[in-house]
Amino acid sequence: MNPNIGENIKKLRSTKQVTQEQLADHLSISYQAVSKWENNVTTPDIYLLPAIAEYFGVLIDELFKVELKGYKNKAARLNAMYQHSQTKENFDKADAEYEKLIAEGLADNEDFHSYGILNQFHVQVLNKKAEEYLIKAGDRARCQLLILLASQGRYKENIERYENAPETAKNIYLLAYSYCDVNLEKALEISLKGLEKFPNDASLLGMCGDICRSLDRREEAIEYHKKSVEQNPDAGDSYYSMAFIYAEMKMYKEAIWAWEEVIALHGRLGITEEEIEFGTEWPKREIAKLKTFLDE
């Protein structure tokens, strides 16, 4: 006989603030049976163990532990299981249980708090996985890796990675990008020095345009983006940027032109009709909105 299970049932029942009678009713047994468990006279039948564990929000194995940690509910237990295992299956189970609590109006502030922690931990797990595979992807994913690390505040890592890298146009672009979140003036300085060596690089020209926009130097930003698309007519980011800047400057005809170039770009890229339709929905909405400003 394992004495821990009786003591643990008593502890869990006390924590949950239910009587022996209430537990017995839930399990469709007599309260005398519960009393015998708690006094170590008998132990629960094996077929009752899943129901007991479910009722108290613990694992079956935990019923036999010397040091038992109880959980408020099933969602909290599944949360703990996920944080231990870090498997998608256990996250999905915990997520579904919290959603069920919320839908039934049974969630309180403690549940919302632990649900938030579950999702926060899940984001960390996914970020770690994303970083692992972006590193494996190599040069193809350098920019996306930089964005991922920046989203986690790991700016120093990004800067160190490219400060001592070979002076290619791409590496200079990525170094400037790394500085954008910490020092815009420094980012612009790096981009301009890069243009001295690679004056016709569309990406560096576009970077200068984006930085100038962030510094409220819109006229300069437009000029850099124009030069960018001159070098590469398919530099889509520059068309988007010009559309935003022109709209900010209330130059609505020019903004409409930029959005039309975005639409034309989608047509030139040779993607599917479905992708073209999806990708041009936003530009078409923006054009319609801008035309209302022209009519006013």
Q: What is the pLDDT of residues 58-68, one digit of tens each?
A: 778 778 887 77
Question: 276 falls in which pLDDT band (50, 70, 90)?
Answer: confident
Report the pLDDT value the prediction gives residue 80, as an integer from 0 to 100.
83
Could you give the number of structural domains in the chain? Answer: 4
Lowest mean pLDDT among 27-41, 53-67, 192-206, 245-259: 53-67
pTM listed for this prediction? 0.69
| Among candidate residues 118, 140, 162, the one where a domain is terminated | 140
25 plus 41 within the same structural domain: yes
Q: Map tokens 């001592």 to a residue.
A: 164
CA distances from 157 to 19, 130, 163, 175 (A): 57, 16, 10, 11
User: 61: burial class by Cβ within 10 Å (0-12, 13-18, 19+)?
Assistant: exposed
Q: Do 113 and 104 touch, CB atoms closer than 8 A? A: no
Max alpha carbon distance in the chain (Å)?
88
Residue 165: give its domain's CATH number. 1.25.40.10
Q: What is the pLDDT of residues 214-231, one digit of tens each?
A: 999 999 999 999 999 999
Q: Do 173 and 207 touch, CB atoms closer than 8 A? A: yes
The yes-or-no verdict on residue 2 having pLDDT over 70 is no
Give me the phi and psi of 131, to 5 degrees please: -60, -45
188 plus 131 within the same structural domain: no
User: 132: burial class by Cβ within 10 Å (0-12, 13-18, 19+)?
Assistant: exposed
